[in-house]
Amino acid sequence: MRGLGVEINGVTMLGLVQPCGIPGNLGLGMCVHGFCVKFGLDMDSSVGNCLLTMYVKSGEIDCGRKLFNEMPRKGLITWNAMINGYAQNGLANNVLELYKEMESKGVCPDPLTLVGVLSSCAHLGALSAGKEVERKMEICGFSSNPFLKNALINMYARCGNLEKARDIFDGMPVKSVVSWTAIIGGYGMHGLGEVAVQLFDEMIRGGIRPDGTAFVSVLSACSHAGLTNKGLDYFGVMERKYGLRPGAEHYSCMVDLLGRAGRLNEARELIESMQVRADGALWGALLGACKIHRNVELAELAFERVIELEPTNTGYYVLLSNVYTEAGNLEGILRVRMLMRERKLKKDPGCSYVEFKGRIHLFFAGDRNHPQINEIYKKLNELENLVKDLDGCKKNDHERREEYLNCMGVHSEKLAVAFALLNTRKETEIIIIKNLRICGDCHLFIKMVSKIVDRQFVVRDATRFHHFKNGFCSCKEYW
């Protein structure tokens, strides 16, 4: 075209940029971007939006943001492209910051904008921000939008308010498979597997055909609640009745289901017999089950397989180290530490946060940076002394308590607990979000504190919700 001297314009560039968003074509896309700059076509809003979408779809968020900042005119499509780019790459904080900036510029959101923002609120557990989005939906006349309703169900469930999520679900006149999957997944995360199973069966009776995602939700719910036989039944009918071939994510659920139930050899046999390629999550699920049941030999095998697939995932090294800790194997612990040092790997720092008066209060292990830190440590010390004096623990809790009291360092969730108790009213339920799986020591600590101070705590860790009340946890020690 160029050789023939045909004039090139923005429409030409749109045709060239769009296929460059396909993975593997980014280098070519950057060349096209350079051509656009050379001929001044990058100032065309449609071309700029297309280039921005190309970068964020390819995971080049920094390049996308640089382009976004340089664009002289930003329409709704531009803001949506950047917001959804952040959302798709897990950068939930950036989404909320950009959304606030968008509002300050007077740009009115559309449903696509708000779906991305609600997804980020769900990821962060930012309940206040999620409620603001719900109010915005009403103002903009989007309250009946089914996509936003589904996003609201997911947001409320993941922010700890399952009752509100159910209210929204029940109020929907038409429920799609996505709606059912959102509420089933919500109950599953909260450890209410029996309710999740009832809803799944009700969905089928209502003529809604489950898809692969719906099966992931119900299988995960069965796993968290210890409904092993029910999970096996669902897995059995997936392909036989619904023609859905199980993928790696379904097998991961089944390995987790069998592993938690102590059926470790069956879990291993399932991995070795399946027809899809095993990923890190599969072997990681088996490794996690080995920790629960203290099976060192199988844990070592699972670890060998998982680091072949994900050699830099520090979580698996920590899991194996924990297996050795439970077994009292000091040599094994040192070996894992040496391996991490050789590979220059560092454990992801544990962090927990509490939303209070619309602000996120973030804590790391051993944190000293919060403005109330002296009061927080004073409160924590007071709680620890009360824990030491607590009577009436079960025999295994006595053993656990000794481990807790000997635990060095202050984990982030303990600081979050102390902060929340200092700043909230007695009748307020305390919701804490943690980026990693809660450890046994902190689990016991919060369980005992819930009894001592007569408060309800909800902790969302990397795998599920824990509801603590009067010295008990909803997980029933099955997590």
Ramachandran angles phi, psi of 213, nearest 5°: -65, -40
Alpha helices by DSSP H, listed for 261-295, are 264-273, 280-293
What CATH code is assigned to 246-348? 1.25.40.10
pLDDT category of residue 256 using cuts at 50, 70 and 90: very high
Query: How far apart (Å, rounded) are the C-alpha atoms in residues 312 and 345?
Result: 7
How much is the average pLDDT of 425-442? 90
Pairing of strands 351-356, 430-434: antiparallel
The boundaries of every CATH 1.25.40.10 domain in the chain are 246-348
Percentage of the chain modeled with pLDDT above 70: 96
Query: How far apart (Å, rounded) are the C-alpha atoms in residues 403 and 408?
Result: 10
Cβ atoms within 10 Å of 132's Cβ, excluding its own:
18
Q: Which residue has the tokens 């780019």?
A: 85
Query: How far apart (Å, rounded) are the C-alpha atoms in residues 165 and 111?
Result: 19
Task: Decide if pLDDT at 60 tops 70.
Answer: yes
How much is the average pLDDT of 211-218? 97
For residue 116 the two structure tokens come to: 């991305």
| Under 8 Å between Cβ of 32 and 13 | yes
Cβ atoms within 10 Å of 381's Cβ, excluding its own:
12
Task: Decide if pLDDT at 253 tops 70.
Answer: yes
Q: What is the pLDDT of residue 237?
A: 96
Q: What is the pLDDT of residue 278?
A: 87
Mean of pLDDT over the chain? 90
Q: Of 386, 361, 390, 388, which Cα lies nearest the Cα of 376? A: 361
DSSP 348: P
Query: How far apart (Å, rounded) are the C-alpha atoms in residues 77 and 45?
Result: 9
